[in-house]
Amino acid sequence: MSEPIDSIDKQDLPPLLIPEGVNYNCQGCGRCCTGWSVGLTEADYARVKDIDWGSVNPDLKDKDLFIHKEQEYKSGTSLYPHFTRPRPDGSCSFLVDSLCTIHSLMGEDAKPGTCQLFPYTFVETPSAIYTGVSLSSMASVRNLGRPLTEQREALEGYFERARSYVTTKAQEGGSGSVNMLVEKPYSTVLLSGQTSVSWDEFLHLDNKMLEIIKAAEQTNEDIIQTLLKVEEVILLSIAMAKSGVSLAEIASYQPTGTMGGAASGSANEGIMAMTYYLYLVYPSIRASYTDMWQLNNKERFGPKKIMRLLNQYGQYIGSGFSTIFLKNASVKNYGKVNLRKAIEYKIKPLPEITQEFFRRWLYLKIFSKVYFGPSFCEYSLLAGFNNLVTCFILTMIFAKGEAMLRKEDEVKLADLYEGMFRVDKESLMMNQLLPQVTVALAVAYSVPKMGRGILQTLAKG
Ligand code: SF4
């Protein structure tokens, strides 16, 4: 269990490292407050439960604002004892005119802990605390606001809040990470399968990956090339670690970024279609059933609920079959696309601004260490990286699908922002998926050179 932040001598904490070129300040669009049901600790709930919200804002009058899952929480099947209840359109009930009513009435400190900390991420390691932002905020996707490097004091404050929140959760008997801050240290890093290295050894590989991304900036290298180079040094490091060679030697290695050795095409396509369903199709169906997100056991067996459940599961199964087996995907408020055709669809080369967007995304993910280990479902480094490759591919398929529907030969940056926003949001929720789903995905992601076949096709297109 973590010590409360007050009792920690800050001198004992490793330095807080901040990514360069990453900007963020809330733009008040309210999109972060839509699409999920926010978990509340008992302390979060105690702050807001007795307020007569209807008298504060008529929009909240006679509304059932919370979902309670105390029993499931006690039995370990729910991460929180309470949740906010979203409206039918998926927006948080407390969101009125794009503003949080809790924040407006009681100040930032009264909001649920998760909302106070969103979208910042903190990963505590033996050598440093790595900060970053999740891209499931439109402001962070678009890089809006002041550079994080100019907001050190605020980030230190948010880190203290995050630690204190983890402590509160632990004291209440809860578990799980908060904004990627986890209690377990990263003393070792699982590269893949059974191959682990010490944190210090891993830092040689980490430096190399960041060096590759920085060098790509100088030459405006295509993002696919950069992804291939990073993958190359990861695979080489795994081989070196298996042979007992120090990863320090990776510093002098010059990756070529050449294609080849792709995992089987049909397996690749199957995994991509499955993740397209999970990250982009499934959430848009879930959004139509917000009242079903956090069912109370006693409600589960009412006839109306059963009808809705059957209807919902029918849609899940139908759309899952269509996406995974027929490759025909439909995303709410967007069109229906054939994934295979979208992957192969020919477009103009990505302009510099788009390459910059993807490089910033890759740099941020690699720098902030949110893609593997305790902060990401205990995934190995290889599985975590393959998940990143998948996120890139899904974002591209999403944007290419839109270009195809418009019969245009270039993707729009706005579609890439939208795709990444959606994909990153679901990626953030991976920690909350059923363990069976997370494990199945980890197995799929552990295949070396997993995304190459699709990257090859995307590069040709
Ligand atoms: S509680 Fe407030 S900040 Fe949190 S999701 Fe709802 S409206 Fe947004």
Atom of ligand 1 nearest to the CA of 30: 8
| Nearest C-alpha neighbor of 293 from the set 454, 452, 80 | 80
Q: Which of 3-17, 26-40, 420-434 has the lowest mean pLDDT?
A: 3-17
Contact 373, 360 (CB under 8 A): no
Q: What is the pLDDT of residues 125-140, one digit of tens each?
A: 999 999 999 999 999 9
Q: Which of 51, 82, 99, 100 to mutate to test the pocket of ligand 1 (most atoms within 8 A of CB)?
A: 100
Q: How much distance in Å is there from the Cα of 403 to the middle of ligand 1?
A: 33
Q: What is the pLDDT of residues 185-237, one digit of tens each?
A: 688 999 998 899 999 999 999 999 999 999 999 999 999 999 999 999 999 99
DSSP state of 125: -
Residue 312: the pLDDT is: 63
User: For residues 262 and 411, which has the higher predicted lDDT (pLDDT)?
Assistant: 411
- The pair phi, psi for residue 348, each rounded to 5°, is -70, 155
Residue with CA closest to ligand 1 atom 8: 33
**Is it true that the peptide bond before 126 is cis, omega within 30 degrees of 0?**
no
Q: Is 121 left (phi over 0), alpha (psi -120 to 50) or beta?
A: beta
User: For residues 123 and 455, which has the higher predicted lDDT (pLDDT)?
Assistant: 123
Give the confidence band of 456 by pLDDT, cuts at 50, 70, 90.
Answer: confident
With 60 as the cut, is the pLDDT of residue 4 above it? no
- The whole-chain average pLDDT of the chain stands at 84
Give the confidence band of 356 by pLDDT, cuts at 50, 70, 90.
Answer: very high
Give the confidence band of 272 by pLDDT, cuts at 50, 70, 90.
Answer: confident
User: For residues 212 and 184, which has the higher predicted lDDT (pLDDT)?
Assistant: 212
- Lining residues, ligand 1, CB within 6 Å: 33, 38, 84, 92, 94-95, 100, 102-103, 111-112, 115
Q: What value does the mean pLDDT take over residues 8-30? A: 84
Neighbours of 231 (CB within 10 A): 24
With 70 as the cut, is the pLDDT of residue 289 above it? no
Letter string b/e over residues 173-200, b meaning 16 or more CB atoms within 10 A of that residue's CB = ebeebbbbbbbeebeebbbbeebbbebe
For 172, counting Cβ atoms within 10 Å of its Cβ (0-12 exposed, 13-18 middle, 19+ buried), the class is middle
State the Cα–Cα distance between residues 186 and 426, nearest whole angstrom: 24
The proportion of the chain whose per-residue pLDDT surpasses 90, expressed as a percent, equals 50
Contact 406, 381 (CB under 8 A): no
Strand ranges for 266-425 from DSSP E: 328-330, 336-338
With 70 as the cut, is the pLDDT of residue 46 above it? yes
Contact 135, 180 (CB under 8 A): no
Q: What is the pLDDT of residues 365-382, one digit of tens each?
A: 999 999 999 888 889 999
Residue 173: the pLDDT is: 73
Beta bridge partners of 83: 39, 67
With 70 as the cut, is the pLDDT of residue 264 above it? no
Beta bridge partners of 189: 197
Query: Distances from the Cα of 257 to the Cαs of 229, 233, 387, 455, in angstroms?
Result: 4, 10, 19, 12
